Amino acid sequence: MLGFIIAMDANKDKAVTLTEMIDFDFASAFQVSEEDINERIDGIFEEYGINPLPLKKVKKEQLGRFSEWDKDHDGLLTRKEIYSYMKTDNTPVKFSVQGETAYMKGVITASTPATVLQLLFEHPEVTSIEMLTVPGSIDDIANLRTSLYVHKFGLNTKLNANISVASGGTDFFLAGRQRIVEKRA
C-alpha cells in the first residue's frame, strides 16, 4: 500500500492530495519502461553468457517460463522473442478482429471492461475470443467484470497450441460459454 501512496504523490511533496489520488493511473503505474525491459533482457544474456540462448542451457527452475518465450520453437531464445513477450506482459489488452474472431493480447487492466464493451459495440459479429498472450491481470475487479461481459454476451474463448495464459487470463478464459483448448496449450 505504501508503494501506491508514494506513486500517487505526483509533485513529490510527500503528501497525497485528493486530486493526485483521483488522477492516479493504476494501469500505467504497473508498466515497466523500455529501459527496464532492455536491462532485464541484458541481464538474462549476461547471466548465461550466450546469445541466442539455447534452452538446453537454461536452469531447470527457469525453463518453463523461458520455453514459453521461444515462439518459433527452435530451442533458441533470442532477444526479439524475449522482448516481444515482455512488451506484451507490459501492455493493456488490445483486440484485433478477423471475421467472427477477436484476437486478444495483453494484460487485463482497469480499462479492459470498457475495451471489451467497445469491441462488442463496434464488432457485433464477434462470437469468439482467441487468447494469444494474456499474462494475467493487475485489477481483479476489472478482470471479474470483463469475464462477466464475456459470459453474458455468450462469447466463446479459445487457446491454440503453444499458447499460455496465466492468473487473471485463466479466469477470463473460463468465462467463455464454450471453452476450446488445443493440445499443448
Residue 141 is assigned to a structural domain of this protein:
yes
Query: In the prediction, which pLDDT does 60 show?
Result: 82
Identity at 8, one-letter amino acid code: M
How far apart are the C-alpha atoms of 178 and 156, rounded to whole Å? 5
* Structural domain count, the chain: 2
Structural domain that includes position 126: 94-180
Q: Is 184 left (phi over 0), alpha (psi -120 to 50) or beta?
A: left
57, 101: one domain: no
106, 147: one domain: yes
Residue 1: pLDDT band by 50, 70, 90 thresholds?
very low
Q: Give me the helices (H) in 126-167, please.
A: 140-152
pLDDT(168) > 70: yes
Last residue of a domain, one of 73, 88, 103: 88
Residue 4: pLDDT band by 50, 70, 90 thresholds?
low
144, 173: one domain: yes
Q: Please write down the long-range contacts of 27-34, taking CB distance under 8 Å and 24 or more positions apart.
A: 27/92, 27/109, 27/110, 27/111, 27/138, 27/139, 29/4, 30/107, 30/109, 30/138, 31/90, 31/91, 32/86, 32/90
Q: Could you tell me the CA-to-CA distances from 24 to 16, 28, 156 in Å, in that order? A: 10, 9, 34
101, 69: one domain: no
176, 98: one domain: yes
105, 169: one domain: yes
106, 74: one domain: no
List pLDDT tens digits, range 15-50.
888 888 778 765 555 555 677 778 888 888 898 888
Residue 15 is assigned to a structural domain of this protein:
no
HSE, side-chain direction, 13 A CA sphere, residue 159: 23
98, 155: one domain: yes
- pTM of the complete model: 0.61
Query: In the prediction, which pLDDT does 3 show?
Result: 55
81, 100: one domain: no
User: Percentage of the chain surpassing pLDDT 70?
Assistant: 89
Per DSSP (E only), the strands in 17-155 are 53-54, 76-77, 94-98, 101-105, 128-133
Q: Which three cell numbers stand for residue 74?
A: 527452435
pLDDT(169) > 60: yes
Mean pLDDT of the chain: 84
pLDDT(55) > 80: yes
Helix and strand totals (H; E) in the chain: 9, 7
How far apart are the C-alpha atoms of 84 and 51, rounded to whole Å? 16
Residue 64 is assigned to a structural domain of this protein:
yes
81, 116: one domain: no
75, 126: one domain: no
Query: In the prediction, which pLDDT does 90 show?
Result: 65
71, 108: one domain: no
Residue 22 is assigned to a structural domain of this protein:
no
